Amino acid sequence: MGGATDTPPLALIAGRGRLPELLAERLRASGRDVIYCAYHDAPPGTVAPDLAFRLETLGTLLKQLQKRGARDVCFAGGVRRPKLEPRALDLATAPLVPRLMAALGKGDDGALRVVLELFEARGMAVRGAHELLPDLLPAPGVLGRFQPEEADRKDAERGAEIVVALGSADVGQACVVSRRQALSVEAMPGTDWMLETLATNRAGLPEGGLLYKGPKPRQDRRVDLPAIGQGTIRNAARAGLRGVVIEAGGVMVLDREEVVREADAAGLFLWVRPREAV
């Protein structure tokens, strides 16, 4: 897929979810040459991959990207922590095994740092999705028709405290709060799983409440920056919440117009809360 400019190709390391496809669609529409690299167990989407890879063939992927002239790399979408399968290793990846094994023994942030170093060592600069598409990060304020009330603001304050604690332990980036009580916190299965579980186990818990989502305190914001989309709003509504709060400058909103429309239809507020308020 040749671009219309002289800008070197961007390697897009695509995981699960809407974000990598959104990036590919919009960047290619602007004339950027994108090499779409799909992780082998990611479900098929609307964008056909240029390259497919797995952890055991990472060395080959790095060589292919160098050969194609990639100078920037963007990691987008969720990836489950893989297991290294020795029988699937190729010759180009075998020398990387000690570093990959060390990475798998670290938390999410530590593992990501090791992977980023492998790409940077091959001359590729890591670019955040929000650097490539700045409008993914909305300005502070309420999006849509519905406003948070004073009780919601207190719940958001409590949610920010909880997410900071979760992030410091490298656990999650979201929680559900009602009447300043934590009803649920995000762990490895993710935000959607947390909300779906809450929706089916809400009996006896306080009514209302909100979803709060924000980045980890010392997170490398070039990768794994949290995001919300239409599915987030739908799941929040099913869980009986009053609204969704995200940290300004720290959470991306995918397909913003559709997300706001979804929130308005569900009667939920969508508040981009200033970080200074944390």
Torsion of CA 198, 200, 204, 210, to 10 degrees: 30
pLDDT band (50, 70, 90) for residue 114:
confident
pLDDT digits (tens, 9 = 90+) for 88-99: 889 999 998 888
Q: What is the pLDDT of residue 200?
A: 94
pLDDT band (50, 70, 90) for residue 218:
confident
* Listed range (104-113, 158-167, 168-177, 209-218) with the worst mean pLDDT: 104-113
* Listed range (44-48, 73-77, 254-258, 260-264) with the worst mean pLDDT: 44-48
In the chain, the N- to C-terminal Cα span, in Å, equals: 44
pLDDT band (50, 70, 90) for residue 270:
very high
Sequence spans of domains, the chain: 10-132, 137-277
pLDDT digits (tens, 9 = 90+) for 18-62: 999 999 999 999 999 999 999 887 777 889 999 999 889 999 999
Q: What is the pLDDT of residue 106?
A: 67
CA–CA–CA angle 67, 70, 71 (5° rounding): 130
Q: What is the pLDDT of residue 144?
A: 96
**Predicted structure pTM score:** 0.88
Determine the Cα–Cα distance for residues 275 and 20; give it in Å rounded to an integer: 26
| Residue 111 confidence (pLDDT) above 80 | no
What mean pLDDT comes out for the span 244-259? 97
Buried b (16+ CB within 10 A) or exposed e, 247-274: bbbbbbbbebeebbebbbebebbbbbbe
Closest CA to 50 of 35, 60, 63: 35
Report the CATH number of the 10-132 domain: 3.40.50.20
| Residue 3 confidence (pLDDT) above 70 | no
Q: Which CATH superfamily, name and number, covers 137-277?
A: LpxI C-terminal catalytic domain (3.40.140.80)
Q: What is the pLDDT of residue 269?
A: 98
Determine the Cα–Cα distance for residues 137 and 215; give it in Å rounded to an integer: 12
Q: What is the pLDDT of residue 242?
A: 98
Determine the Cα–Cα distance for residues 195 and 226; give it in Å rounded to an integer: 15
pLDDT digits (tens, 9 = 90+) for 123-182: 999 999 999 999 999 999 999 999 999 999 999 999 999 999 998 887 889 999 999 999
Q: In what helix (H) or strand (E) does residue 163 lie, and over which residues does it extend?
A: helix 150-168
Q: In what helix (H) or strand (E) does residue 182 lie, and over which residues does it extend?
A: strand 181-185
Q: What is the pLDDT of residue 27?
A: 97
